[in-house]
Amino acid sequence: MNKRIVITGLGAVTSIGVGWQDFWQAILSGKSGISEIDAFDTKDHVTHYGGQAKNFDPKAFIDPKKIKLMSRASQLGVSATKLALTDAKLHTPDPARTALIMGTTGGEVQEIEEMDAVWVKHGHEKVDKWSILQYPVANITANIAREFKLKGKTLIFTTACAAGNYAIGYGYDLITLGKADTVICGGADAFSYLEFTGFNQVGAVAPQVCRPFDKNRQGMIPAEGSGVLILETLESALKRGVTIYAEILGYGLSCDASHMTNPDSEGVAYCMADALAKAHLKPEQVDYISAHGTGTIHNDRAESAAINKVFNQRKVPVSSIKSMLGHTMGAASALEAIACALTVKLDTIAPTMNFQTPDPECDVDCVPNKPRKQTVNVVLNNGFAFGGNNCCVAIKKYSE
């Protein structure tokens, strides 16, 4: 129970870069991954921009013969996992003692959309059998496990936009309790017509630009991607002589039990306070908060109120990388955890881009428009989701 759990591998596939190095450099330069959507026709939608990973080629990571057996989310997840394992120098992970824990919102939603369209138009007998096999969300973890010959515990969380953090927290528990030696954890979601349409219908999508914490923010930008982290004990990492990016101290959970889509500041505050308590931290020890920061009116207002409550109005730097890569749904908090690990490793805080006008209801230091160099020892990574599912992970700079 006293094991120290560290992050030794990072894998990112996003609209702003593939591989953590390109991903991080894009963040520091304020690069936008938002472009006109070409994955499907948006003529009947109010908005037409999204964060597609147009620079991602699955053939760079997966045997072309296997690619046709995987849908988009699995391709993203397998590729990010390969990047993370390579980064951690885990070329042959122990099959039985390596757990695989992922998060998602839609699973193989692109394949499901096509299957449902065929079913509605032509009847279920015309549905391709292969498409049916893609329906369970656990298909993502099944494909990753198959690709890397993993036989340990496998699980996928479907707690929507907080799912990546849930996967990291559960992975932390598995190692702490001795149920796994290594954990591959993170999230993956493909760009989706269903999700894009749904968010458009509720008026939650910005026309072109995501402006978290800005008074004139108009909403989020749907996106796709995958973020994967490798967790192991400090003892294992030191024995293998690999890079240690950061240490995980614990995580907090809460459920708003309030509104289906609008976050509740009390639930969000409880989640962050729970993370601090589990990690044995005081609020004054936190140097940075990676915000959920979607750019919607309700989310940013509730998150700001919660932060000010937990930190007693202390202006902790708070930023949202969704301003650049968009909202990658189940992958979001996993990709943000990668950014947090690099923040404490490199003492640089990511900016919130596109910020123009302060909002009195979002009274936080949002690190506007350019990165900030400063010593960062402890960060909180916020992940909140529809249904009031909240998870906050505490991450610390590694020191002997």
**Tens digit of each residue's pLDDT (9 = 90 or more) over 14-66:** 999 999 999 999 999 999 999 999 999 999 999 999 999 999 999 999 999 99
Q: What is the pLDDT of residue 80?
A: 98
Q: Which of 185, 210, 271, 327 is catalytic?
A: 327
Q: What is the pLDDT of residue 1?
A: 62
Name the domain boundary from 213, 240, 267: 240
Q: Which residues of the chain have pLDDT under 50?
A: none
Q: In total, how many domains does the chain have? A: 2
Q: What is the pLDDT of residue 107?
A: 84
Q: Which of 185, 292, 362, 392 is catalytic?
A: 292
Domain span including residue 369: 250-396
User: For 388, which DSSP code?
Assistant: G
Q: What is the pLDDT of residue 127?
A: 77
Name the domain boundary from 203, 218, 240: 240
Does some domain include residue 245? no
Are residue 319 and residue 180 in the same domain, yes or no? no
Q: Decide if 91 is catalytic.
A: no
Cα separation, 233 vs 5, in Å, equals 5
Q: Decide if 292 is catalytic.
A: yes
Q: What is the pLDDT of residue 2?
A: 81
Are residue 151 and residue 295 in the same domain, yes or no? no
Are residue 162 and residue 41 in the same domain, yes or no? yes
Cα separation, 272 vs 289, in Å, equals 10
Q: Which of 161, 366, 391, 392 is catalytic?
A: 161
Does some domain include residue 148? yes
Q: Report yes or no: 323 and 295 within 8 Å, Cβ to Cβ.
A: yes
Are residue 187 and residue 307 in the same domain, yes or no? no
Are residue 230 and residue 258 in the same domain, yes or no? no
Here the tokens at position 73 are: 């989310």
> What CATH number is associated with residue 304?
3.40.47.10
CB-CB neighbours of 36 under 10 Å: 10
Torsion, Cα 107 167 162 220, to 10 degrees, reads -60
Are residue 66 and residue 186 in the same domain, yes or no? yes
Does some domain include residue 258? yes
Note the pLDDT tens digit of each residue in 341-356: 999 999 999 999 999 9
Does some domain include residue 144? yes
Q: What is the pLDDT of residue 140?
A: 95
